[in-house]
Structure 1
Amino acid sequence: MTTATTSAAATAPAPAETPAPEPRFTGPELCRLSAHEAVGLLRRGEIAPAELIAAAMTRIDQVEPEVNALPTTCQARAEAAAASLAGDPAHPGWLAGLPLAIKDLSEVAGVRATFGTRGMTAHVPETSSPIVTRIEARGGVVLAKSNTPEFGAGANTFNDVFGYTRNPWDTTRNAGGSSGGAAAALATGEVWLAHGSDLAGSLRTPAAYCGVVGLRPSPGRVPGAPAHSRFNMEAVQGPMARSVLDCALFLDAMAGEMRGEPLSQPAPATPFQDAVTRAEGRIRIAFAPDLGGFAPVSAAMEDHLRQALARVVAQGAVIDETCPPLPDLDPCYRTLRAMLWAAGPGRAAPRVQRHFKRSLQANIDQGRALDIEDVLDAQQARSRLYDIVQGFMAGFDVLACPVVGLMPGPVEEEYPREIDGQPLEDYIGWLRFSFLAPVTGLPAISVPVGRGPGGLPVGLQLIGQPRGEAALLAAARAVERACGGPLGPIDPMTPAR
C-alpha cells in the first residue's frame, strides 16, 4: 500500500467510546521524575541515593497490595550499596546510584531468587548474575526483584510463589509477561528503571500492556545469556523504562563486552542516548499489521495502530504497508524455543521440576521430542529468514507491527484462546508477532502509542536493522514524540463493575 493510502486508512474514524478517566499519581514527587532527571540530580549532588531509596520504598508500600509487581525487596542491601557509591563520587557510572529492579530470573547475591517456582522458594544465591554485576558496577542500586511467571514461561505474570501481577491501568487485567512485574513497577512509579529478559516478547508484551518502553537488544549487546547456554541467541537481557530516552540510558549502562560472555560485543563509541536526543521525524517505516498474514490481530488493535501511525506521518515519516515473506518462521521459532527449554528448566533437579506448571512442562517435552532433522530444518530456515529480512530492511529504517494482536485479557486467564473469533492453537499462538526478532537476531522495541479501548495503553513494535539499536531508539523516540508520550507514572486503577 502506498504512503498516501496508508495515511488515509490510518485516519479512518474509530467507533465512539466513553473517554477513559485521566490517571492520577499520588506517590512521592521524586518517583515522578524520569530516570535521566533523577540521574542528573544524583550527578550534581542535589540528591542522595538514600533519598530515592526512601521514596521508592514509600511508593512500593502504597501500590504493591494492588499490583504485586515487586514481591521481594532488599532495602538494607540497597542502602549499603548506595553508601559505597557515595564514598566514590568521582566514579558514579551511568546510573550514579539510581535504585532499580531486577527480574526474578537473575540472581542478586544475598537476595532470594525463586524463578517463580515452588521448588526454589528458599534459594538465596551467594553470587550475582553477570548482568547484575554489570549494572551495579555502573552505578545501579538493586532495590527489588520483579515478579515473573515460572522460569519466565508465558506472557501472563503469575506463579505459585507470589501470585498474579496486575495491570496498573486496569487491575482486573493481565500485565503481560514474562517481565510483567518490571513493567507494572515502572508504570506505577515504584522504580525508575527495570531489568527484563525476552524470548517470546517478554520485554515487549508487558511494556505494551503497561504503557512503558521495552527494548529487546541484539544478541550479545547486553551480557547475560543463560548459564546453561552461553551461545544461545534467542533469550536476551534488556532494559525497560517509562521513556525511550530512559531506556537508552539503561542500555548504555548494560551494554559492552564481558569476559566469560562469548557473544558479548564492545559498547559503541557514541552513547545510545545521543541517538535519542538527535532523533528526527523523517523516518521510513514498513508497516505490517499482521506480518503478511502470519499473526492474527484484532480489529481494535489494528485500528488504533493505524491512527497512531497517521500521527507519525504528520511529523514527517514515510510509511509503506508491506512485509517480507517469512517462510517457516513458526516451526523455526518453536524448535529453537523448545531446545532452550529442554536444555534449561528441563535439566533442573527433579525436586524443582515436579512443581512445574503444565505449559512449562509441555515446552520441555517438546524440546525432548525433537529429532536432528527438526534442528537442521530450523537452522536452515533461520539463515533464509535472516537473508530475506535483512535485504528487505535495506529500504526502511524500521519494520512496524503490533507487539501483540489484542488488548490484555482477564488476569486469571493464562492465555487467550482466540482473537476476534480466530482460534489460537496453543499458549504462545497469541505471541506470534514476537517470533521474528529472536529468530533473526534483530533488535526490537515496544513504544507506547497512546491509550486504546478501555483507556488501556497500546504499544507499537519497531524492528530495527542488524545491530542497529541506535537507529531503532531514534525511530522509537520519533514515534513516542508524535504520539504524545511518555505515559505515567500512575496510581493503579480498578474500573467500577
Structure 2
Amino acid sequence: MTSDRSICELTATGLARGVASGKVSSREAVDAHLARIASLDARLAAFVTVDADGARRAAQICDSAPAPIGPLHGVPIAIKDLTDTAGLTTTYGSVLFRDHVPAEDDLVVARLRRAGAIILGKTNTPEFGFGAVCTNRLRGPTRNPFDPALTSGGSSGGSAVAVAAGMVPLAHGTDFGGSVRTPASFCDVASIRPTPGRIPSPRRPLGWDMLATHGFLARGVDDLELALAVCAGSDADDPISLGGASDDRPIVDRPRIAFTPDFGVATVAREVRARFAAAWEALARVADVVPSSPDCGGAIETFRTLRAAHIANSYGELLRTRRAELTPTVIWNIEAGANLSAQDYLNAERRRTAIFRSFRALFTGADFLVAPAASVFPWPNEVADVTAIDGAALDTPIDYLAVTFIVSLVGFPVLTLPVPGGENELPFGIQIIAPPGRESRLFALGRILQNELDFSHRPPKLP
C-alpha cells in the first residue's frame, strides 16, 4: 500500500493517474491528506473549515464509479473561502458570515466537482480578501511553512500554505491585485492568474469587471494547466467570458523575454532586485533576454482609483449598516472610494487603456514579459501592513502590490513560478506574463523553466 506521506507528495496530475489506474483509491488519497491537515494545520492555520465527512462521502462515490468521473477524479483539493460552496460553510473571512452555508456552488466550484475533484475544505483569507496578512477574527494568521513567524501573504495565503505543506496538491484562489501571485512567491509554489473571462463568474454583480479573476496554486505547471482546462469555457451570463481554446502554437527554440524589476514605477526592495537579477541571468540560458517595460506612468494611481470605486460599490452598504463589526483594514478599503467622482473613474479608465496599449506594443517585440512576483520578502505576522520598503514610505497600504496589480490592471495572464534559492533563503517567485489568451504558451515556457532551470517547488522542512 502507498504510504500517506508518499500520497501527499504526489502532484494533482500524478494522483489523478494513480487513482484512475487503481494504484491508489480516492479514499486513501482523501484520508492521507486529511491526516496531513490534522497533523499540521493547528500550527499553520491554512484552513477555516475542513469537511472530512463530505470528502469521504465524495471519495466513496469516486471509488464506486465504473470509470473516472473526470480529469480530476478522486483528487483532493481546497477552495478559497471567498468562493461559494454548496452545503459547506463559506465565511468570506468574516465573523458576519461565520454561519453562512450557500445553497449553490460558484460555477468554478461546480466545474471542479464535475471533473471529479474532492473538496477537503475552505482555505483561510483576510476578511473579504482585504489584508496583507492572511488572518481574520475567525482564523489565523496563516503561517508561512518555511518560517511560521512570517506571513503567507494575502489574500490566498491559506491556499498557498495548503499546497506548499502537502495538505492538498491543488488549491483554488482568487486574484484582484496579486492575491494568488504574492502567496505563491512567499510559499514557493506555482500559480496561474488567467486572462479575465477564461474562468467565468456568471454571478458577478459587475459583469464587465476585469480586475478580479479566479486562479489556482499548485506545486507544478501541469497541475495548473489541468485545473484551468476543466474550469475554462464560456457562460452566457458572464459578458466577458471566453471559450476554452487558447493560443497553443509552440514557442520558438529561444523565445524573446523582456524583463523589468519594477515596471518603471513600483517600489521594490533591494534584496528582491538582487534575487530577480539572478533569475533573469538564469533565463538567458534558454531565451533571449532584454530589459524592457511598457509605459506604466500613472498605473499606481489608476489602480488605486478603480479598486477603490469597485470596493465602495460592493461593500458600501455593509459599512453603513455594520461598521462596528468590520476590521479597520476593511473599513479603510471601503472608505477609500467614498468620495470618487464619475470623472475620477473615467480618467482612470482612460489611463488604463493607454497602459494596456503600451503592453500590447511591447509584445510586438517580445514573447513574454517577466517581473518579480512580490516587491518584498515575507515579513512577521504581527506586522499588519507594508508601510515602507527599504526605508521609503509608501503612500497607501496597497502600494507594495504594485508589481502585481499593474498586470491586473491590463488583464494579461500570468504564470508565477518559484526560482531556485539557497537552503537558508526565503522563497521568491517571478511573474511570467503573456498577451491575453496565451495561457498554453505560458505553461509551455513554465515546463521548460521547471525542467531545465529548476524553477520549481522545494518542500519546506515540516515536523
Q: TM-score, normalised by structure 1?
A: 0.88
Does 1:361 find its partner at 2:331?
A: yes
Name the SS for the 1:344 alignment partner.
Answer: helix
Q: 1:224 aligns with which of 198, 201, 206?
A: 201
CA distance in structure 2 between the aligned counterparts of 1:269 and 1:91, rounded to whole angstroms: 26
Assess, with a 3 A threshold, how the Cα gap between structure 1 residues 395 and 46 changes in structure 2: closer, same or farther: same
Aligned to 1:244: 221
Encode CA deviations 1:43-95: one digit per residue, 9 max, x unaligned.
22322211110000110011112211013111211222233334444452121
- Give the superposition deviation at 1:27: 6.3
Matched residue type, 1:395: G
CA distance in structure 1 between the aligned counterparts of 2:225 and 2:352, rounded to whole angstroms: 28
Encode CA deviations 1:358-409: one digit per residue, 9 max, x unaligned.
2221221122211011111011112111111111112111111111111111
Aligned to 1:379: 349
Aligned-pair RMSD on alpha carbons?
A: 2.1
Aligned to 1:455: 425
CA distance in structure 2 between the aligned counterparts of 1:265 and 1:181, rounded to whole angstroms: 28
- Give the superposition deviation at 1:480: 2.8
Aligned to 1:290: 262
Does 1:141 find its partner at 2:118?
A: yes
CA distance in structure 1 between the aligned counterparts of 2:246 and 2:437, rounded to whole angstroms: 14
Aligned to 1:213: 190
Does 1:304 find its partner at 2:275?
A: yes
Aligned pairs (5 A) from 1:424-463: 424-451=394-421, 454-463=424-433
- Give the superposition deviation at 1:489: 3.6
CA distance in structure 1 between the aligned counterparts of 2:260 and 2:336, rounded to whole angstroms: 30
Matched residue type, 1:295: A
Name the SS for the 2:15 alignment partner.
Answer: helix
Asked if the contact 1:228–1:343 (Cα under 8 Å) also holds between the matched residues in 2, the reply is: no
Gapped regions of structure 2 (runs ≥ 5): none
Q: 1:388 aligns with which of 330, 344, 358?
A: 358
Does 1:40 find its partner at 2:12?
A: no
- Give the superposition deviation at 1:490: 3.2
Name the SS for the 1:369 alignment partner.
Answer: coil
More displaced 10-residue stretch of structure 1: 343-352 or 280-289: 343-352
CA distance in structure 2 between the aligned counterparts of 1:208 and 1:330, rounded to whole angstroms: 21
Aligned to 1:200: 177
More displaced 10-residue stretch of structure 1: 189-198 or 36-45: 36-45
Aligned to 1:344: 314
CA distance in structure 1 between the aligned counterparts of 2:323 and 2:272, rounded to whole angstroms: 37
Matched residue type, 1:384: A
Name the SS for the 2:234 alignment partner.
Answer: coil
Encode CA deviations 1:270-304: one digit per residue, 9 max, x unaligned.
9x8xx8xx777622111111212x11112211111
Asked if the contact 2:70–2:115 (Cα under 8 Å) also holds between the matched residues in 1, the reply is: yes
Asked if the contact 1:205–1:403 (Cα under 8 Å) also holds between the matched residues in 2, the reply is: yes
Encode CA deviations 1:133-157: one digit per residue, 9 max, x unaligned.
1111111111110000010012320
Assess, with a 3 A threshold, how the Cα gap between structure 1 residues 352 and 252 changes in structure 2: closer, same or farther: farther
- Give the superposition deviation at 1:200: 0.9
CA distance in structure 1 between the aligned counterparts of 2:113 and 2:323, rounded to whole angstroms: 31
Assess, with a 3 A threshold, how the Cα gap between structure 1 residues 473 and 269 changes in structure 2: closer, same or farther: closer
CA distance in structure 1 between the aligned counterparts of 2:98 and 2:384, rounded to whole angstroms: 22
Aligned to 1:165: 142
Aligned to 2:107: 130
Q: 1:418 aligns with which of 388, 395, 407?
A: 388
Does 1:320 find its partner at 2:290?
A: yes
- Give the superposition deviation at 1:476: 2.4
Asked if the contact 1:94–1:139 (Cα under 8 Å) also holds between the matched residues in 2, the reply is: yes
Q: 1:479 aligns with which of 446, 449, 452?
A: 449
Aligned pairs (5 A) from 1:45-194: 45-194=22-171
Assess, with a 3 A threshold, how the Cα gap between structure 1 residues 226 and 354 changes in structure 2: closer, same or farther: farther
Name the SS for the 2:336 alignment partner.
Answer: helix
More displaced 10-residue stretch of structure 1: 334-343 or 184-193: 334-343
Asked if the contact 1:285–1:400 (Cα under 8 Å) also holds between the matched residues in 2, the reply is: yes
More displaced 10-residue stretch of structure 1: 93-102 or 483-492: 483-492
- Give the superposition deviation at 1:334: 1.1
Assess, with a 3 A threshold, how the Cα gap between structure 1 residues 454 and 489 changes in structure 2: closer, same or farther: closer
CA distance in structure 2 between the aligned counterparts of 1:219 and 1:311, rounded to whole angstroms: 30
CA distance in structure 2 between the aligned counterparts of 1:301 and 1:192, rounded to whole angstroms: 28
Q: Identity over aligned residues, as a percent?
A: 33
Encode CA deviations 1:415-447: one digit per residue, 9 max, x unaligned.
222211221122111111012222111111211
Aligned to 2:212: 235
Aligned to 1:17: none
CA distance in structure 1 between the aligned counterparts of 2:183 and 2:132, rounded to whole angstroms: 8
More displaced 10-residue stretch of structure 1: 26-35 or 454-463: 26-35
- Give the superposition deviation at 1:465: 1.1
Name the SS for the 2:47 alignment partner.
Answer: coil
- Give the superposition deviation at 1:254: 1.5
Encode CA deviations 1:9-43: one digit per residue, 9 max, x unaligned.
xxxxxxxxxxxxxxxxx962100011111011122
Asked if the contact 2:132–2:386 (Cα under 8 Å) also holds between the matched residues in 1, the reply is: no
Matched residue type, 1:152: G
Asked if the contact 2:4–2:33 (Cα under 8 Å) also holds between the matched residues in 1, the reply is: no
Q: Which has the higher contact order (CA 8 A, sep 6+)?
A: 1
Asked if the contact 2:48–2:122 (Cα under 8 Å) also holds between the matched residues in 1, the reply is: yes
Name the SS for the 2:420 alignment partner.
Answer: strand
Matched residue type, 2:216: P
Matched residue type, 1:289: P
CA distance in structure 2 between the aligned counterparts of 1:377 and 1:41, rounded to whole angstroms: 53
Gapped regions of structure 1 (runs ≥ 5): 1-25
